[in-house]
Amino acid sequence: METTGAAAHGPDAPVIDLLQLYPRDMNIYGDWGNVLTLRKRLQLRGYEVRLHEYNPGDAFPAQVDLFVGGGGQDSGQNRIQSDLLSLAGRLKELAEDGVPMLAICGLYQLFGNFFKTGTGEVIKGIGLLNVDTVAGPTRLIGNTVIESSEFGTVIGYENHSGQTFLKEGAQPFGMVTKGEGNNGQDGTEGARYRNVVASYLHGSLLPKNPAMADFLIPGAVTRRHGSFDDTPLHVPYEAQARLDAAARPR
Ligand code: GLN
């Protein structure tokens, strides 16, 4: 495991421990941008970010305030399967306790019950979310826009063979207005549980949707440090970047 501390703030800066799950195997279509966005926005608010890159077999850090994990090919999902299953109890307990987590695409599928691939292989998930995923006949690919009752318009890019179906009690992240979403059939996209956001949207998601980062960050900060100063950040280019991204054809 690699751990890097940001030196942007003094030795007394409050710390947030951010863990990226499986960057070696699960980190495609710009998912690393989610880590960069969380780190930057935390630094702009005066926090020192300790970034933990967790790969199979690594020691699990004693303190984690925020989790992020990305998508991957079926082969990458296979490689992390047994390690992820060994973390199931811990991740579920932390999610239950309100720790914010962002799981994109391949990791979203494995936060669910299982992913049955196009070759019929079943990759087991941890069942943190009650969703099942089965590969469909064609990949669902393209720029995507969803409407979320909690977060408004969310912009991203999807590329997956798996079709995910929300089972009893599972809540969608949003409804697609452009693109295919969970399965190309029922209009839902992603899943939400406590402070867990799971979504097919790469893109990267957080640079295009800073409101999502600003949902994850307060939960992490409040849990670790007791309170959060929610004065909005002013980043001049982000509104235009969102408009440009939303206008992209599918
Ligand atoms: N391998 C999975 C699928 O094809 C996940 C893909 C991804 O993470 N983009 O559905």
Q: Interface pTM (ipTM) of the complex?
A: 0.97
pTM of the predicted model as reported, rounded to 2 decimal places: 0.94
Q: What pLDDT does 6 receive?
A: 43
Beta pairing partners, 56: none
- Residues whose CB is less than 8 angstroms from the CB of residue 97 and which lie 6 or more positions away in sequence, other chains included: 223
Q: What pLDDT does 9 receive?
A: 65
Using a 10 angstrom Cβ sphere, with 0-12 exposed, 13-18 middle and 19 or more buried, the burial of residue 238 is: middle
Find the residues whose C-beta lies inside 6 A of ligand 1: 28, 71-74, 77, 105-106, 159-162
66 sits in which H/E element:
strand 66-69
Digit-coded pLDDT (tens) for 70-105: 999 999 999 999 999 999 999 999 999 999 999 999
Q: What pLDDT does 91 receive?
A: 98
Q: How far is the CA of 106 from the centre of ligand 1 (A)?
A: 5
Pairing of strands 48-54, 131-148: unpaired
7 — pLDDT class (breaks 50, 70, 90): very low
Q: What pLDDT does 238 receive?
A: 83
Nearest to 161 by CA among 102, 114, 106: 106
Beta strands of 118-227 (E only): which ranges?
122-124, 131-148, 152-166, 174-178, 188-189, 191-193, 196-199
| Residue 191 DSSP SS3 | strand
- Determine the longest span between alpha carbons in the chain, in angstroms: 54
Contact call for residues 162 and 135 (beta carbons, < 8 A)? yes
Of 10-19, 133-142, 161-170, 183-192, least confident by mean pLDDT is 10-19
Digit-coded pLDDT (tens) for 118-133: 999 999 999 999 999 9
CATH (one of 3.20.20.220, 3.40.50.880, 3.90.1150.10, 1.10.10.10) for 15-228+235-246: 3.40.50.880
Edge-to-edge, what's the strand order for the sheet holding 2-5? 2-5, 48-54, 15-21, 66-69, 101-104, 196-199, 191-193
Residue whose CA is closest, atom 8 of ligand 1?
71
* Domain residue extents for the chain: 15-228+235-246
Q: What pLDDT does 8 receive?
A: 52
Digit-coded pLDDT (tens) for 19-42: 999 999 999 988 999 999 999 999
Give the annotated binding-site residues for substrate. Answer: 139
Report whether pLDDT(2) > 50.
no
Pocket test of ligand 1: the residue of 77, 78, 119, 121 to mutate, having most ligand atoms within 8 Å of its CB, is 77
